[in-house]
A = this chain, B = another copy of it.
Amino acid sequence: MSVLIVGSTALDSIQTPQRENPRLLGGSASHAAVAASFFSTVKLVGILGDDFPKRYLNLYRRHRIDLEGLQIAPGKTFHWAGEYEVNMDNRRTLETELGVFEKFSPTLSPSHQAAPFVLLANIAPALQHHVLNQMRRPKFVVADTMDLWLNIALEDLLRLLKRIDALVLNDSEAHQLTKADNILVAAKRIHRLGPKYVIIKKGASGAFLSAPGGIFLTPAYPLAKVVDPTGAGDSFVGGMTGYLATARGPLEKNLRRAMIYGTVVASFCCEGFGLQRTTKLTRSKIEQRVEELERLTRF
């Protein structure tokens, strides 16, 4: 089944202690869409300026991403510039230019409205609502978020939580949202706000699922070197939702395995700048690392 993905489509300029990388393909929806494309048909909803390099459009196309919902408007593409410190843990935003993103208000085509899986990738909750309002009867809705929306759009986000099946957020955001230090307590409080499935990302410590059938602990795939973690969270949720959309059988069992696929795609994402490593992936390379994770955790 297909996945509709809405989020930011951007150009990212990423500085690390070793390198500068101007105007890479980035944005939550780009990372999530490429990650999901290894498993299912992806319908991308986003907006680009007329400065958007053609090679990036071709890159979407090479991943057979449906670009019907990708609007190209006069003006500049959303541009984010950021810098990582030596240990890759701390990120500093140097510049954010919204460009055409400021007037983004997508209208979905009938075929897009009928998509069974929806991933509301990281973007303003008001836009997530706007897309969800147009969906007909989605089978499963996943939303990602970030601390920025907890700070400036909490009410919209809380309303959204009542409309989605699964919320994905990281541990510090879960703490910020619930005031709970403990992950089990935080998940319980988030369930009360709406979502049946709560997925808490813990970076290099893996991810945590709280679901009706119990909890599940996903390890992170251990990497000897992290080149650029930008988009790892988006790749996780994209890979997860893409896998989930095509898996047969009980949803919760599939969701566990989907998180493993998400974590594996995220691990590849960290091994290159922007989408450089992810776009060179194949399904068989992903399967190899999933099998490796099985070996690394079997006892």
Contact = CB atoms under 8 A, between A and B. Distances in A.
Contacts of A259: 299
B299 A256 contact: yes
A23 interface: no
A185 interface: yes
A224 to B, nearest CB: 4
Interface string A14-33: 00000000000000000000
B299 A222 contact: no
Interface stretch (A115-123, A150-158, A209-217): A209-217
Interface string A208-238: 1000001111110011111000000000000
A202 B205 CA distance: 9
A139 B208 CA distance: 38
A214 B87 contact: no
Q: Sort chain A's interface into a size bin.
A: 20 to 34
Contacts of A260: 299
A93 interface: no
Interface string A241-258: 000000000000000110
Interface of A: 87, 181-185, 202, 205-206, 208, 214-219, 222-226, 256-257, 259-260, 294-299
7 closest residue pairs by CB, A with B: A205-B205, A184-B224, A217-B219, A256-B299, A257-B299, A87-B181, A260-B299
18 contacts: A87-B181, A182-B223, A182-B224, A182-B226, A184-B222, A184-B223, A184-B224, A185-B224, A208-B222, A215-B222, A216-B296, A216-B297, A217-B219, A217-B222, A217-B296, A217-B297, A219-B219, A260-B299
